[in-house]
Structure 1
């Protein structure tokens, strides 16, 4: 399997930036970020908060993304994985920043920026405060695979094997990240 999209860029030692042009208007892409039912089709369901400071829950059910069961290396993710996050900044429908990994002030953070691009949307995802190289590789390949699923969903296609794609992305990022 070959990666369908270019790799994200490490723009600082603890910061990843991924850019994608998505085949939907900004309002539709925004809905896939904040509506838990839509979000679970590419990332994680759970709940969503609408105000800065509010905590919400991400419920990852990776097997449901493409129907592919996690290989042994990722066996811990065969079951539902729950993560608490906090809304740090929200400007519908163009910007969302959330804590990642926990709701604490020391958690890493993810910003989604949406801008119109023709009939589609330019998504810029920036993940900051990654603690080390291992986590940077893991997060980079995870975002790559999840955004591939989002692209397929927005195109109305059945997503390719999430875990197969994640493993390919992980190899690529292992060679790409400092």
Structure 2
């Protein structure tokens, strides 16, 4: 995995490690800060997890396996699309939760990305999702707009500028 792109994001949250762990592993809470998805699993080593749409369709957009679980300190999962054959194997996401007084340092490491395009995608996605998570835990509600919408608008504007028409 060393020769494949990776992404690391660190944020600090005013919460206990237990609250952060709960927010990462409770399907109802994940539905709040992921907006249109929830993460579903029993979070035991070897178990499957699903990134399932919350619109009632039951559609699963991402799947993986729980590789390591050490509540409330560390969670490691694999990640890929359903039925996706990735030449280098699935992505690997590690959540490290470190307490410091009244705050937590949450480090998300997303390894084994397929290419530059996936790196660009997760580089926009993780900060947006984690900003929503942080806001939810600190204020009781998510951000008033989905932060990922800003990235989509900026990307569309950049593409329009580069359009030779």
Give the superposition deviation at 1:81.
Answer: 5.0
Q: Which runs of 5+ in 1 are unaligned?
A: 1-10, 64-78, 172-178
Rounded to whole Å, the distance in 2 between the matches of 1:90 and 1:133 is 29
Give the superposition deviation at 1:49.
Answer: 2.5
Aligned: 1:55 with 2:48? yes
Rounded to whole Å, the distance in 2 between the matches of 1:160 and 1:21 is 20
Aligned: 1:115 with 2:106? no
Aligned: 1:26 with 2:5? no
Aligned partner of 1:6 in structure 2 is none
Q: 4+ residue runs of structure 1 moved beyond 6 angstroms? A: 168-171
Q: Pairwise CA RMSD of aligned residues?
A: 2.8
Aligned partner of 2:163 in structure 1 is none
- Give CA-to-partner distance per residue, 1:41-84, whole Å, 9 cap, x none: 112324213321111211145x9xxxxxxxxxxxxxxx965322
Q: Which runs of 5+ in 2 are unaligned?
A: 157-165
Secondary structure of 1:41's counterpart equals helix
Aligned partner of 1:70 in structure 2 is none
Contact 2:33 / 2:142 at 8 angstroms: preserved in 1?
no
For the pair shown, which has the larger CA radius of gyration, 1 or 2?
2
Rounded to whole Å, the distance in 2 between the matches of 1:26 and 1:124 is 12
Give the TM-score normalised by structure 1.
Answer: 0.71
